[in-house]
Chains A and B, each alone.
Chain A
Amino acid sequence: MRSTMLWMPHAEYVALREHGEAAYPHESCGVLLGSTRGGDRVVRRAVPCRNVHAASPDTRYQLDPLEIVRLEREARAVGEELVGFYHSHPDHPARWSATDLAEAHWVGCSYVITRIARGRAEETSAFLLEGRDEDDKRFADEDLRVLDAAEEAAELEAISP
Protein backbone atom coordinates (compact mmCIF):
# COMPACT_ATOMS: atom_id res chain seq x y z
CA MET A 1 0.00 0.00 0.00
CA ARG A 2 1.37 3.42 -0.91
CA SER A 3 2.09 6.02 1.75
CA THR A 4 -0.47 8.76 2.10
CA MET A 5 0.60 12.19 0.90
CA LEU A 6 0.68 15.55 2.57
CA TRP A 7 0.81 18.42 0.08
CA MET A 8 2.13 21.74 1.35
CA PRO A 9 2.77 25.11 -0.33
CA HIS A 10 6.45 26.06 -0.26
CA ALA A 11 5.78 29.25 1.73
CA GLU A 12 4.01 27.31 4.51
CA TYR A 13 6.81 24.74 4.58
CA VAL A 14 9.40 27.52 4.97
CA ALA A 15 7.28 29.25 7.62
CA LEU A 16 6.89 26.20 9.86
CA ARG A 17 10.62 25.48 9.64
CA GLU A 18 11.45 29.12 10.48
CA HIS A 19 9.05 28.90 13.42
CA GLY A 20 11.12 25.95 14.69
CA GLU A 21 14.30 28.00 14.37
CA ALA A 22 12.79 31.02 16.13
CA ALA A 23 11.50 28.91 19.01
CA TYR A 24 14.83 27.08 19.51
CA PRO A 25 15.87 25.79 22.05
CA HIS A 26 12.16 25.34 22.80
CA GLU A 27 9.82 23.20 20.71
CA SER A 28 7.61 25.12 18.29
CA CYS A 29 4.09 23.96 17.41
CA GLY A 30 1.21 24.84 15.16
CA VAL A 31 -1.85 23.76 13.24
CA LEU A 32 -2.21 22.76 9.57
CA LEU A 33 -5.42 23.89 7.89
CA GLY A 34 -6.55 22.75 4.46
CA SER A 35 -8.57 19.95 2.98
CA THR A 36 -8.58 16.21 2.51
CA ARG A 37 -8.61 14.46 -0.82
CA GLY A 38 -9.08 10.73 -0.82
CA GLY A 39 -6.66 9.51 1.82
CA ASP A 40 -4.36 12.52 1.35
CA ARG A 41 -4.27 15.96 2.90
CA VAL A 42 -3.62 19.32 1.25
CA VAL A 43 -2.34 22.11 3.50
CA ARG A 44 -3.38 25.69 2.74
CA ARG A 45 -2.00 27.34 5.86
CA ALA A 46 0.43 26.41 8.62
CA VAL A 47 -0.60 28.51 11.62
CA PRO A 48 1.94 29.02 14.43
CA CYS A 49 0.57 28.44 17.93
CA ARG A 50 1.97 29.01 21.39
CA ASN A 51 3.72 26.13 23.13
CA VAL A 52 1.93 26.23 26.49
CA HIS A 53 3.89 23.38 28.09
CA ALA A 54 5.09 25.42 31.06
CA ALA A 55 7.38 22.90 32.73
CA SER A 56 9.57 21.66 29.84
CA PRO A 57 9.04 23.62 26.60
CA ASP A 58 12.51 22.51 25.45
CA THR A 59 11.49 18.84 25.34
CA ARG A 60 7.69 18.96 25.19
CA TYR A 61 4.96 20.82 23.37
CA GLN A 62 1.32 21.44 24.10
CA LEU A 63 -1.22 23.56 22.24
CA ASP A 64 -3.82 25.66 23.99
CA PRO A 65 -7.14 23.94 23.10
CA LEU A 66 -8.77 27.38 22.82
CA GLU A 67 -6.43 28.19 19.92
CA ILE A 68 -7.67 25.02 18.23
CA VAL A 69 -11.32 25.95 18.85
CA ARG A 70 -10.73 29.37 17.27
CA LEU A 71 -8.70 28.07 14.33
CA GLU A 72 -11.29 25.40 13.54
CA ARG A 73 -13.98 28.10 13.59
CA GLU A 74 -11.92 30.26 11.22
CA ALA A 75 -11.27 27.29 8.98
CA ARG A 76 -14.95 26.29 8.80
CA ALA A 77 -15.86 29.84 7.75
CA VAL A 78 -13.70 29.53 4.64
CA GLY A 79 -14.47 25.91 3.84
CA GLU A 80 -11.22 24.53 5.23
CA GLU A 81 -10.62 22.03 7.99
CA LEU A 82 -7.94 21.05 10.42
CA VAL A 83 -5.77 18.44 8.69
CA GLY A 84 -2.77 18.21 11.00
CA PHE A 85 -0.23 19.71 13.34
CA TYR A 86 3.47 20.48 13.36
CA HIS A 87 6.16 20.71 16.00
CA SER A 88 9.94 20.78 16.25
CA HIS A 89 12.53 18.55 17.89
CA PRO A 90 15.47 20.69 19.05
CA ASP A 91 18.70 18.72 18.50
CA HIS A 92 16.77 15.48 18.04
CA PRO A 93 15.70 13.54 14.94
CA ALA A 94 12.62 14.38 12.90
CA ARG A 95 11.02 11.11 14.00
CA TRP A 96 8.09 10.67 16.33
CA SER A 97 8.90 9.78 19.93
CA ALA A 98 6.97 7.55 22.30
CA THR A 99 5.64 10.73 23.93
CA ASP A 100 4.52 12.03 20.53
CA LEU A 101 2.49 8.87 19.96
CA ALA A 102 1.09 8.66 23.48
CA GLU A 103 -0.11 12.28 23.35
CA ALA A 104 -1.38 12.28 19.75
CA HIS A 105 -5.17 11.92 19.70
CA TRP A 106 -6.19 13.16 16.25
CA VAL A 107 -6.45 9.91 14.32
CA GLY A 108 -6.62 10.67 10.60
CA CYS A 109 -4.51 13.82 10.89
CA SER A 110 -0.91 14.50 9.86
CA TYR A 111 1.84 15.24 12.35
CA VAL A 112 4.85 17.08 10.90
CA ILE A 113 8.15 17.12 12.78
CA THR A 114 11.23 19.23 12.00
CA ARG A 115 14.67 18.58 13.43
CA ILE A 116 16.29 21.84 14.56
CA ALA A 117 20.05 21.34 14.97
CA ARG A 118 21.82 24.13 16.86
CA GLY A 119 19.11 26.55 15.82
CA ARG A 120 18.96 25.57 12.13
CA ALA A 121 16.11 23.61 10.56
CA GLU A 122 17.27 20.32 9.05
CA GLU A 123 14.97 17.52 7.93
CA THR A 124 11.18 17.78 8.10
CA SER A 125 9.11 14.59 8.14
CA ALA A 126 5.41 13.84 8.10
CA PHE A 127 3.50 11.04 9.80
CA LEU A 128 -0.14 10.07 9.58
CA LEU A 129 -1.79 9.08 12.84
CA GLU A 130 -3.73 6.08 11.62
CA GLY A 131 -5.90 3.40 13.15
CA ARG A 132 -9.51 2.91 14.04
CA ASP A 133 -9.42 5.01 17.18
CA GLU A 134 -7.46 6.03 20.27
CA ASP A 135 -6.92 2.44 21.37
CA ASP A 136 -5.65 1.33 17.98
CA LYS A 137 -3.51 4.31 16.91
CA ARG A 138 -0.06 4.27 15.32
CA PHE A 139 2.09 6.57 13.23
CA ALA A 140 2.74 5.73 9.57
CA ASP A 141 5.35 7.48 7.43
CA GLU A 142 3.71 10.00 5.15
CA ASP A 143 5.06 11.40 1.89
CA LEU A 144 5.53 15.17 2.37
CA ARG A 145 5.29 16.92 -1.02
CA VAL A 146 6.27 20.58 -1.06
CA LEU A 147 4.59 22.42 -3.92
CA ASP A 148 6.55 24.93 -5.99
CA ALA A 149 4.78 28.08 -7.23
CA ALA A 150 3.61 26.54 -10.52
CA GLU A 151 2.31 23.40 -8.81
CA GLU A 152 0.57 25.53 -6.21
CA ALA A 153 -1.21 27.56 -8.87
CA ALA A 154 -2.32 24.37 -10.62
CA GLU A 155 -3.44 22.93 -7.30
CA LEU A 156 -5.53 26.00 -6.47
CA GLU A 157 -7.03 25.89 -9.95
CA ALA A 158 -7.96 22.23 -9.46
CA ILE A 159 -9.77 22.79 -6.18
CA SER A 160 -11.54 26.06 -7.02
CA PRO A 161 -15.29 25.58 -7.32
Chain B
Amino acid sequence: MTVHVPAPLRPFTGQQAVLELPARTVGEALTELVSRHPELRRQLYGEDGRLRSFVNLYLNDQDIRSLQKEATPVREGDALSIVPAVAGGLKE
Protein backbone atom coordinates (compact mmCIF):
# COMPACT_ATOMS: atom_id res chain seq x y z
CA MET B 1 0.00 0.00 0.00
CA THR B 2 0.97 3.63 -0.36
CA VAL B 3 1.69 5.81 2.67
CA HIS B 4 1.71 9.60 2.30
CA VAL B 5 4.03 11.33 4.75
CA PRO B 6 3.24 14.98 5.56
CA ALA B 7 5.94 17.66 5.25
CA PRO B 8 6.74 17.92 8.99
CA LEU B 9 7.55 14.21 9.21
CA ARG B 10 9.71 13.97 6.09
CA PRO B 11 12.92 14.81 7.95
CA PHE B 12 12.38 11.43 9.64
CA THR B 13 11.89 9.46 6.39
CA GLY B 14 14.94 10.76 4.55
CA GLN B 15 12.64 13.34 2.89
CA GLN B 16 10.49 10.65 1.30
CA ALA B 17 6.91 11.89 0.83
CA VAL B 18 5.52 8.60 -0.45
CA LEU B 19 6.37 5.06 0.61
CA GLU B 20 5.19 1.72 -0.71
CA LEU B 21 4.83 -0.76 2.13
CA PRO B 22 3.64 -4.35 2.33
CA ALA B 23 0.75 -4.55 4.80
CA ARG B 24 -2.53 -6.35 5.44
CA THR B 25 -3.80 -3.79 7.96
CA VAL B 26 -3.24 -0.15 8.84
CA GLY B 27 -1.41 -1.32 11.96
CA GLU B 28 0.98 -3.46 9.91
CA ALA B 29 1.70 -0.52 7.63
CA LEU B 30 2.52 1.65 10.66
CA THR B 31 4.74 -1.06 12.17
CA GLU B 32 6.62 -1.41 8.89
CA LEU B 33 6.90 2.36 8.59
CA VAL B 34 8.48 2.88 12.02
CA SER B 35 10.64 -0.19 11.59
CA ARG B 36 12.15 1.35 8.43
CA HIS B 37 12.27 4.82 9.97
CA PRO B 38 12.68 4.38 13.75
CA GLU B 39 12.85 8.13 14.44
CA LEU B 40 9.23 8.38 13.35
CA ARG B 41 8.08 6.39 16.37
CA ARG B 42 8.19 9.23 18.85
CA GLN B 43 6.68 11.61 16.31
CA LEU B 44 3.63 9.39 15.88
CA TYR B 45 3.28 7.71 19.27
CA GLY B 46 3.13 9.01 22.83
CA GLU B 47 4.98 7.44 25.75
CA ASP B 48 1.92 5.28 26.39
CA GLY B 49 2.45 3.68 22.98
CA ARG B 50 -0.76 5.14 21.58
CA LEU B 51 -0.97 7.36 18.54
CA ARG B 52 -0.62 11.00 19.54
CA SER B 53 -4.02 12.68 19.67
CA PHE B 54 -3.22 15.20 16.93
CA VAL B 55 -2.19 12.51 14.44
CA ASN B 56 -5.05 11.70 12.08
CA LEU B 57 -4.84 8.69 9.79
CA TYR B 58 -6.97 8.51 6.67
CA LEU B 59 -7.32 5.35 4.62
CA ASN B 60 -8.22 6.80 1.24
CA ASP B 61 -11.00 9.25 2.27
CA GLN B 62 -11.93 7.70 5.61
CA ASP B 63 -10.72 8.40 9.12
CA ILE B 64 -9.51 5.06 10.50
CA ARG B 65 -11.28 5.95 13.79
CA SER B 66 -14.55 5.47 11.87
CA LEU B 67 -13.32 2.12 10.49
CA GLN B 68 -11.56 -0.54 12.56
CA LYS B 69 -8.75 1.79 13.63
CA GLU B 70 -5.36 0.09 13.33
CA ALA B 71 -7.02 -3.27 12.64
CA THR B 72 -8.57 -1.87 9.46
CA PRO B 73 -7.72 -4.20 6.57
CA VAL B 74 -6.00 -2.67 3.56
CA ARG B 75 -5.82 -3.70 -0.06
CA GLU B 76 -3.35 -3.22 -2.87
CA GLY B 77 -3.76 0.31 -4.16
CA ASP B 78 -5.06 1.77 -0.90
CA ALA B 79 -3.50 5.01 0.31
CA LEU B 80 -2.87 5.84 3.94
CA SER B 81 -2.41 9.55 4.69
CA ILE B 82 -0.85 10.80 7.91
CA VAL B 83 -2.51 14.15 8.62
CA PRO B 84 -1.45 16.18 11.66
CA ALA B 85 -4.33 18.27 13.00
CA VAL B 86 -4.70 21.90 11.94
CA ALA B 87 -6.35 24.02 14.61
CA GLY B 88 -5.85 26.94 16.95
CA GLY B 89 -7.52 30.22 17.67
CA LEU B 90 -7.29 33.49 19.49
CA LYS B 91 -8.62 32.15 22.77
CA GLU B 92 -5.79 31.44 25.19
Give A residues with C-beta under 8 Å from B: 27, 29, 31, 53, 56, 59-63, 65-66, 68-70, 72, 81-83, 85, 87, 89-90, 92, 96-109, 111, 132-134
Contact residues on B (Cβ < 8 Å of other chain), bracket = 20 to 34
For the complex, would chain B's binding face be called helix, strand, loop or mixed by DSSP majority? Answer: mixed
Contact call B58/A60, Cβ cutoff below 8 A: no
Contact call B85/A60, Cβ cutoff below 8 A: no
Query: Which residues of A sit under 8 angstroms from B56, Cβ to Cβ?
Result: 65
How many contacts A-B (CB < 8 Å)?
Answer: 103
Contact call B6/A106, Cβ cutoff below 8 A: yes
Contact call B86/A63, Cβ cutoff below 8 A: yes
Interface string of B68-92 (1 = CB under 8 A from A): 0000000000000101111111111
Contact call B84/A105, Cβ cutoff below 8 A: yes
B7: contacting residue among A60, A103, A108, A133, CB under 8 A: A108
CA gap between A90 and B43 in the complex, in Å: 33
Contact call B92/A53, Cβ cutoff below 8 A: no
Query: Which residues of B sit under 8 angstroms from A68, Cβ to Cβ?
Result: 83, 86
